[in-house]
């Protein structure tokens, strides 16, 4: 058994990836007339940074170089972990569900005991606008785009022309980075810090959470346990998020009661928009014909209740996809969502538990 960790890096691969990214960056600098700086970061020049006409630009170049090195190492670690998981199994990676479940089984803990504890686990990562985080959100987004292109390049299916296109796309992102100011020149206001946090809560995390659930489901099945247990989301650990931004009334002199109120209202609005988006995606996948299968009696009764409570909005939602009851039901759930920071004039959900109960009727 290989005793590996998720942080192990295949340094040979990391070096190849880094050299590839560095060559792309050197080409970008050369095309922009920065030949001296290109030679400098390529190791062909011993000129000290202070002797460049603009030392700030030289420092920025090295900042990008170090970021490229970090990307190459992260990608190498991710690929190495995938190889180990494929050859040795999910239980071979320390610190993850597979190893934890195997350890519990070896200790004699039963499946029923583990299953009973899973929904009692609560994890709450807390976000904050740390003063050491100086990079702008737009720069972080370009770093992510660059990393995804590096991962895309891993696929062996690409033709030479397609691989050239990926290289061109990488150089385009690198040029944007070079032309973009990397750090914040002024202390950000609370509203700007709040937008940065909302970007992760609204855009990044919703795509990551299903991956975490899938990893637990896979590890559970590999451990020889009943897959039906983890297939029910009510049996999974609880993961929620906290935030200091806009609510740090002890440590931030610019955070007032009004600021906290604005923050809560904006987070609520984004949460509702996120649920709305996810329900629309769900509705698009539930094109099940009522002529081929029948929904449960409980779902039919709840659908009729929502239809009448929502009035005109309920009628419109119900008529949108006739003969597709599951999609009609989700349409009604969308119509029952609160409107932004205020309640709808008609009936709407007032507690998240109401929405969850309706979702359970779809299961």
Please measure the distance between the N-terminal and C-terminal CA atoms of the chain and give it in whole angstroms: 39
- Which residue, 54, 90, 349, 51, is CA-closest to 218? 90
- Which residue, 263, 233, 234, 235, is CA-closest to 247? 263
Q: Within 10 Å of residue 120's Cβ, how many Cβ atoms? A: 8
Tell me how far apart the alpha carbons of residues 57 and 45 are, in angstroms, rounded to a whole number: 16
Phi, psi angles (nearest 5°) of residue 117: -85, -25
Cα dihedral 341, 343, 349, 353 in deg (nearest 10): 40
Strand blocks (E) in the chain: 122-123, 126-127, 238-239, 242-243
Which of 40, 103, 130, 143 is the catalytic position? Answer: 130
Tell me how far apart the alpha carbons of residues 85 and 94 are, in angstroms, rounded to a whole number: 11
| Cβ contacts of 196 within 8 Å, gap of 6 or more | 129, 137, 188, 245
Q: Is 252 a catalytic residue?
A: no
| Cβ contacts of 330 within 8 Å, gap of 6 or more | 279, 282, 283, 286, 362
Cα 107–chain centre separation = 34
Rg (CA), the chain: 26
| Cβ contacts of 6 within 8 Å, gap of 6 or more | 77, 81, 93, 94, 95, 96
Strand 122-123 relative to strand 238-239, pairing:
parallel
Write out the catalytic residue numbers: 130
């Amino acid at each position: 058994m290989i005793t590996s960790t998720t942080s192990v890096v295949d340094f040979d691969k990391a070096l190849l990836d880094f050299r590839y990214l560095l060559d792309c960056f050197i080409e970008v600098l050369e095309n922009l007339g920065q030949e001296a700086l290109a030679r400098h970061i390529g190791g062909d020049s011993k000129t000290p940074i202070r002797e460049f006409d603009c030392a700030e630009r030289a420092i920025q170049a090295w900042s990008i170089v170090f970021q490229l090195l970090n990307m190459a190492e992260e990608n190498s670690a991710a690929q190495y972990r995938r190889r180990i998981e494929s050859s040795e199994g999910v239980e071979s990676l320390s610190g993850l569900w597979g190893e934890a479940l195997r350890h519990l089984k070896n200790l004699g803990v039963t499946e029923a005991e583990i299953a009973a504890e899973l929904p009692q686990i609560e994890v709450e990562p807390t976000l904050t606008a740390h003063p050491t985080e100086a990079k702008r959100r737009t720069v972080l987004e370009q770093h992510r785009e660059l990393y995804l292109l590096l991962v895309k390049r891993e696929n062996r299916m690409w033709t030479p022309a397609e691989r050239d296109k990926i290289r061109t796309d990488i150089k385009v992102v690198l040029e944007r980075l070079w032309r973009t100011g990397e750090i914040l020149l002024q202390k950000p206001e609370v509203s700007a810090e709040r937008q940065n946090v909302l970007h992760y809560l609204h855009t990044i995390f919703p795509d990551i959470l299903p991956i975490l659930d899938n990893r637990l489901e896979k590890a559970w099945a590999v451990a020889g346990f009943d897959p039906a247990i983890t297939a029910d989301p009510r049996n999974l650990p609880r993961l929620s998020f906290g935030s200091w931004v806009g609510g740090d009334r002890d440590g931030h002199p610019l955070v007032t009661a009004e600021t906290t109120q604005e923050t809560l209202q904006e987070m609520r609005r984004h949460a509702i928009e996120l649920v709305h988006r996810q329900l629309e995606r769900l509705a698009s996948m539930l094109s099940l014909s009522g002529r081929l299968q029948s929904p449960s009696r409980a779902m039919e009764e709840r659908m009729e209740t929502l239809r009448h409570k929502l009035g005109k909005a309920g009628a419109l939602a119900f008529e949108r996809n006739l003969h597709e009851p599951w999609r009609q039901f989700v349409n009604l759930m969308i119509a029952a969502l609160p409107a932004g920071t205020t309640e709808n004039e008609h009936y709407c959900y007032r507690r998240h538990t109401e929405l969850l109960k309706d979702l359970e009727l779809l299961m």
